[in-house]
Chain A
């Protein structure tokens, strides 16, 4: 187990700079998820930590030791790849034992470690099989087993679930989380799927265009997104946003946007300021009259909850409710907004406005 520290990390491929001075610390035993859209540099950052990619600038330290010039095999880290990267010509047992054999560990120790890992991951019946004889989920577990037997300081996961079907992905997600709770090994996990990030992470690092947008616990990011990018990236369906202008001079405070008045409380936003008004789908409710007028476009019942796509002026917003509202497409409705749940962002910079 170990801490990891990134200090002012930069990365260029030729003249193209892809990571612009990233710095943050991961404490011992923490599960940190790097999340962002493709091309944001999250995988590159992970590969630099793994030693598979040169570090252009800055330092990476594992347990206080700077590892910039340390070979990956000497960094004491193990990685699970997106394609699993199992050795096709070796059995499951040999795949898991490979690194220990290279390190010339004694046979009894190898057998014991492989045994323990296969118990943890329920791989016992498959030890003699070849990767081609396994299902996707089983291969994924072998890849994790290969990492576990090493008993490394840090686990790295590079989009490990993206090759699995949706159902299996949910199951493996829980398995990886349970594994972490059991082994308590420091883990860095890369994904583009914000649901994976939300459900698994102790802390999330949201990246975009080679920069960190925000670092925080999943609920922190959800409740207080630091900027418009994080607000729209975290949460599914995404936060509703409309561009408008703050009006505080006359009557109740509101934001004028999409031809409607969106309620505001005494928080940030000066009169006349151009803002982006954000409200999560579950914080919109249907009302008999008053509030924001709209027109139903689509009704999407999922059983447990219902999502309504609603047109307000020229904008579209999504409302999510646990009830089963009796509404039909083209029906006129009214939305109420709890001003306490409103997020305001500066229209120019996208930064969150705070009082």
Chain B
């Protein structure tokens, strides 16, 4: 009886939350299978569902979609590059601070934490100026570097906490076995940190994939922008093709969902592992 009551309570909360979360996605989906005329009819299911919208998007048959594949590729390349670079920066930093105990490591960590008191939006214009100084505007590297900058502090923090949990005796055993710091990093540290690395890499990748503000500021050529920015450009017209916008949006949402479900196990374990200091 008690169990049933508990279940009922959970359902009472769960069902509204599920509806709340799924409604926009359902809306997105309905738009993407409706014709332009039917899109705003307000029906729960279109009278004549069609896949024509997807055909238009895939064949780049609308002027807003002239570079769909290219922009999707940009998003992918940038997200993957940010994921990998963040991992490189954060793993080596965490290893140096947590395992090699380099001088000043603590200061670096605190600075990393401090950066989170400054909202990313505040830094957008200075970042734009900085990239201009380096001559990187309209170059995808500017967005990659900017996103690595934003993702790294948190990544370092999480990885540092996670690597503190590895017993220090392992390092000492490896040292006595004759491992150099690089060998220790490669042969002992990296394999043991794998779950956290997957979590942090995915975090950085998704952060870059979802980024709009910086992508919008730093890239401007139709051929260089990410799909996220291209979606925003749909709204530039007075009669935006909503059904195409929604179709593209749905497609844009699929890779992160897939990545999240693939690495779900690591995401929860890896990110919470470093969350609390024990």
Q: Which A residues contact B (CB, under 8 angstroms)?
A: 50-52, 72-73, 77-79, 81-83, 85-89, 98-99, 102-103, 146, 150
Q: Which of A82, A85, A89, A102 contacts B178 (CB 8 A)?
A: A102
Q: Which of A72, A83, A88 contacts B176 (CB 8 A)?
A: A72
**Chain A residues whose CB sits within 8 angstroms of the CB of B177 once the complex forms:** 73, 98-99, 102, 146, 150
A73–B176 CB distance below 8 A: yes
For the complex, is B18 an interface residue (Cβ under 8 Å from A)?
no
**Chain A residues whose CB sits within 8 angstroms of the CB of B179 once the complex forms:** 73, 102
For the complex, is B169 an interface residue (Cβ under 8 Å from A)?
yes
A83-B167 Cα distance, complex, nearest whole Å: 9
A99-B184 Cα distance, complex, nearest whole Å: 12
Main SS at interface, chain B: helix
A85–B192 CB distance below 8 A: no
**Chain A residues whose CB sits within 8 angstroms of the CB of B178 once the complex forms:** 73, 99, 102-103
A51-B177 Cα distance, complex, nearest whole Å: 12
Q: Closest residue to A99 on the B side, CB-wise?
A: B177
Q: Closest residue to A79 on the B side, CB-wise?
A: B176
Q: Closest residue to B183 on the A side, CB-wise?
A: A102
Give the interface size class of chain B: 10 to 19
Given contacts A73-B178, A99-B178, A102-B178, contact A89 B173 (CB under 8 A): no
Interface string of B189-211 (1 = CB under 8 A from A): 00110000000000000000000
A89-B186 Cα distance, complex, nearest whole Å: 12
**Chain B residues whose CB sits within 8 angstroms of the CB of A103 once the complex forms:** 178
For the complex, is B60 an interface residue (Cβ under 8 Å from A)?
no
For the complex, is B172 an interface residue (Cβ under 8 Å from A)?
yes
B173–A85 CB distance below 8 A: yes
Q: Closest residue to A80 on the B side, CB-wise?
A: B173
**Chain B residues whose CB sits within 8 angstroms of the CB of A51 once the complex forms:** 175-176
For the complex, is B23 an interface residue (Cβ under 8 Å from A)?
no
A87–B188 CB distance below 8 A: yes
Complex A-B, nearest 8 residue pairs according to Cβ-Cβ distance, in ascending order = A99-B177, A73-B178, A85-B169, A85-B173, A89-B191, A102-B178, A81-B169, A72-B176
B192–A89 CB distance below 8 A: yes
B170–A85 CB distance below 8 A: yes
**Chain A residues whose CB sits within 8 angstroms of the CB of B188 once the complex forms:** 87
**Chain A residues whose CB sits within 8 angstroms of the CB of B167 once the complex forms:** 83, 85
Please name 25 pairs of A and B residues whose Cβ atoms are closer than 8 Å in the assembled complex, sorted by A: A51-B175, A51-B176, A72-B175, A72-B176, A73-B176, A73-B177, A73-B178, A79-B172, A79-B173, A81-B172, A81-B173, A83-B167, A85-B172, A87-B173, A87-B174, A89-B192, A98-B174, A98-B177, A98-B187, A99-B176, A102-B178, A102-B183, A103-B178, A146-B173, A150-B177
A52–B172 CB distance below 8 A: yes
A232-B171 Cα distance, complex, nearest whole Å: 37
A87–B183 CB distance below 8 A: no
A99-B183 Cα distance, complex, nearest whole Å: 11
Q: Closest residue to B168 on the A side, CB-wise?
A: A85
Taking the closest CB of chain B, its distance from the CB of A328, in whole angstroms, is 51
Given contacts A83-B167, A85-B167, A87-B170, contact A73 B175 (CB under 8 A): yes
A sample of 16 more A-B contacts (CB under 8 A), given A98-B187, A102-B183, is A51-B175, A72-B175, A72-B176, A73-B175, A79-B173, A79-B176, A81-B173, A82-B169, A83-B169, A85-B173, A88-B192, A89-B191, A89-B192, A98-B174, A99-B177, A150-B177
Taking the closest CB of chain B, its distance from the CB of A72, in whole angstroms, is 5
Given contacts A85-B169, A102-B183, contact A78 B191 (CB under 8 A): no
**Chain A residues whose CB sits within 8 angstroms of the CB of B169 once the complex forms:** 81-83, 85
A352-B167 Cα distance, complex, nearest whole Å: 43
**Chain A residues whose CB sits within 8 angstroms of the CB of B187 once the complex forms:** 98
A150-B173 Cα distance, complex, nearest whole Å: 13
Taking the closest CB of chain A, its distance from the CB of B55, in whole angstroms, is 48
